Structure 1
Amino acid sequence: MKSFLRTILASALVLGGAMSAQAADRAIIVLDASGSMWGQIDGKPKLEIARQALRSVLTTIPADTELGLMAYGHREKGSCSDIELVVPPASGSASAITAAADSMKFLGKTPLSAAVKQAAEDLKYTEDKATVILITDGLETCSADPCALGKELEQSGVDFTAHVVGFGLTAEEGRQVACLAENTGGKYIQASDAKGLEDALAQTVAEPAPAPAPAPAPEPAKPEFNFVPELALAEGAAALKDAGNAWEIYKANADGTKGERLTTEYNNYKGSLEPGDYVIRATLGEAAVEQPLKVEAGQAYKPLFVLNAGTLIVRPRPSDGGDINTGAAVVLDFPGASHPATYYGETKIVLPAGETKVKVTIGQGEANETIQLAAGQTVEKDIIAGVGRVVVNALYAQGGDKVDAGGLDVRVYKAKKKIDGTREQVTYGYGPDNKFDLPAGDYVAVARMDQAEAEQPFNVRVGEAGDVTAVLGAGVLAIDAPGAKEIRVYAARKDIQGNRKEFGYAYDQKHQATLPEGDYVVEADLGDAGKKEGSASVKAGERTELTVQ
């Protein structure tokens, strides 16, 4: 996707001076660990891109910066209270933050407002200067108002600032969270790919504060407006009004090329420019046009910029007649793109006229189409990924309780084995109620909880939904060994060599594991008291408790 991040950051340095990026003396990074971070950009999950960006940027932060990490949605699905200060703010915390992000699960909802509020409170924002950097790939999903929160924190804080990095958000989605930053004097930065996210973190976390600019000298009075540009999609088309477009204004170099950036304005802009030579660049969606402008004293200018672009509306659907999939990845490769742009769900975007290649991905299903777009034209297109949906769960025993734990590992394979006897893995997930969108065909679900594993074959048909349940034939063994330094679990039965198969261990006094139905021996290392053994029989769907002392 085209990255406009450097454009946004440079313009922020001009607008008002006070918006210049500064390193935070004491700050908390709030990381979106919701399930949507499994979405992909350029074939790579967003959560992996975020981890890599943190690893890179955190090596450059000033040594005296007190930095912490807060996450939400990383422990539970469907919870608006799953918020945790994973690493408290402290100097030298970069390695701890990196390690925490690398080991984090991405599961739940997006309570971004509550997370920012908690981070502000942990920084004692009503007593000290405090900065929060929010990285989110989605909008608030927990009935809160980020805009109102920004005003509240600004009014009650001593010197509070929130920066927001919108990772993979559309322009419209970005406007819905940008107010959180703007209402606290912070910055909203749109990061559309790995490089954009790394640049955004460098600007909000790692870049040292610039020296304050000297106060500008008073300027003489000027005419109210001498530059009123208009924008159209095509020759002869009506001028656009409040379209969400941007006007980038540059000083012109002697050879007519773009020089120093002066400002970026939006929508129906009216302004006054000093006499001189300029280059004006107009952008809307993924389309852009630029042209020179020579301003002379006492003259007014109303230039028309023609984008030579059209509007494409893509509605990704799992099957013919199916509902629009809001999590679908829509990748657009259009004329003039340095690399394809990625959007999500129903996509409405202005693109340069010409041939656009569209790839829609829903789960493991993919569809590709080529669309011809003329200047001024609007093309609406339903694109069918051709998938059905299954929800995979596991039971401890036939007719028994569902395995309702985040440690449940579910992997989906193609049913047909390869020549070496192995199967090709298609996708995976964690916890109960895993939803998979798959092309038509035969598959095998492999569910594993601790030491118990079961396979369940199933078939997928396009446009249909189904449930897949694997029966582990297992129970839970809970062990209490007071004073133990180590606990190990073995099968009771020895093999022909006299050895027992190991079924897990723990360096603790307590250990709990899901085990296949059967008989087991538990060995506890009690230190000076030596090693003690106990035995237990595990039944499918039941809990067994054992004390070894």
Structure 2
Amino acid sequence: MIRLIAMGLLLGLTGLSLPALAQDTSAAGDTILVFDASGSMWGQIDGVPKITIARDVVKELLDDLPPERRLGLVAYGHRRKGDCKDIQTLVPVGGDRAAIAKAIAGMNPVGKTPMTAAVQQAAEAVKFTENEATVILVSDGQETCHADPCAAAAKLATMGIGLTVHTVGFGLGEEEAGAKGELKCMADATGGRFFVADDAKELKYALAQISVAPSTKAKAAEPAPAKAEPAPAPDPAAIPTGKASLEATDQQGGPVIRQDLVWTVRHGATGEVLHESDATGKLEVELPRGVHDVSVIRGSDGATAEGEIKLTGDRASLTLPIVVELKATLKVPATAAAGSKVRVIWTGPGEGDDYISVGPADAGNSRHANYTRTKDGNPLQLLMPPTAGTYEVRYVSAKNHNVLTRESIDVSEVGASVEVPAKAPAGSTLRVAWTGPNYANDYISVAKVGSAGRSEVNYTRTSAGNPLKLLMPAEPGPYEVRYVQSQSHKILASQPIETTKVSATLDAPDSGAGGTRIKVSWTGPDYANDYVSIAKVGSAGRSEVGYQRTSRGSPLELTLPDDPGSYELRYVQSQTHRILASKPVTVTAAQ
């Protein structure tokens, strides 16, 4: 990968005096410093990160250069990962040197290395079409942002008045023939000089040659002290290969990422780039067998992951989790009533099915009483548990159910009451006065004593008003009237009540011909939908042959069935179809 190191860094590495370079740049017009803030600047030289060396040495450079020397600063890779457009002119030529020092001191290397575009922008910053100017470039690798440095340099040479680009290939391995060619052609095209340096001594020699004289368009670029030619590389066709399948997940154990990934595969021994993809998702690529380093960058946020793939046979696969530290905040009240809804203000990723939950403080992260999706708004409403206690409100990432942040909240009990008489006729309707939170779907019920919260016989929602009407059970016996909180059917209050037996009577002829009508007089509670019926003797309460509602009055008329036989008249209470009274009647053959 290309690494452009600021001019001051080079001086610090070699021990070359700053005045020597000042002498050169004064002869060549304005000078632009190209500062490398790509991720590899965290690499070390003799145990010291390159970014640290660069900061210190550039500061020395700024202090020692004569005040009349006009300088500028271009940097790249200092803002975003994986972005070939991350190039910025931070200080224009002739700007304040204190601004240059401050900008360099605050850089955090994170990005890629767009060598060609960086040189072009540096040339524009020194107005190379109007003035003589110098760009000094040192690289330890090859262009990786799909540009042609040779063509770009040739174009700059034809457009500029006197632009000179000096290049030094620093620390290039034998496999970096492509990098050497690119750097040499950039220098050749602009009348600059190209050097190869493998260590500090050779780098010092190269910089000394650049500093002692300005560029000369007629003089060919020359190498540093000669080296032996490397041994010929093995024939690529003779190296066995295999298929490598690469994929990345969003967070550890999260979903597979389907797009916007840039993959780079390097030879594990030499560091040579074997494959670099355009934006894609899952990747399948043919590689030489062996152990290779794999890195992936997500374009949307520049997040990265690294690993290695061991390709010892025909196929191998690798899954890299792209882990990004997700942050969130919550603002919740310190206390809340059980079963109430609280207003929660949040910050966080807000992705997909992320949610805000409330659960016991001592329970696992995935256990919760209630939750609301972040996509439902901000702030959002969160339902508190029905039981008092200390709970946690949590921001949970739906990708892997990680809790990003949590806040404690104390939930207090809520009170309720019901007012009913001690006794009421079975099947009657009472007016019940109540107090309570009146949450959505809360209700007043009547149930058997000691039964669970959901075992009511009858109920009415509290939204029906206060007091409200509640139907008593049809069967006589001991019951209780309750205020029930709808969430988890928690009983907030109860009062005992006994339902007493109700009676009814029937008066009608003892017999009649089939198909004729008879008059039936009755007494009874006359509850809504009660009825008088005729049915076979011994049949259930809902097996009537014919019936009339008691709301028609007394007496009422019933039509006898056509089939002769033994029947009975009944007074039936509509709730549960309870038979309150009966009288036998004989149906004779029709005349």
Structure having the higher Rg: 2
TM bin (shorter chain)? 0.3 to 0.5
**TM-score, normalising length: structure 1:** 0.40
Tell which has more relative contact order, 1 or 2 (C-alpha 8 A, sep 6+).
1
**TM-score, normalising length: structure 2:** 0.38
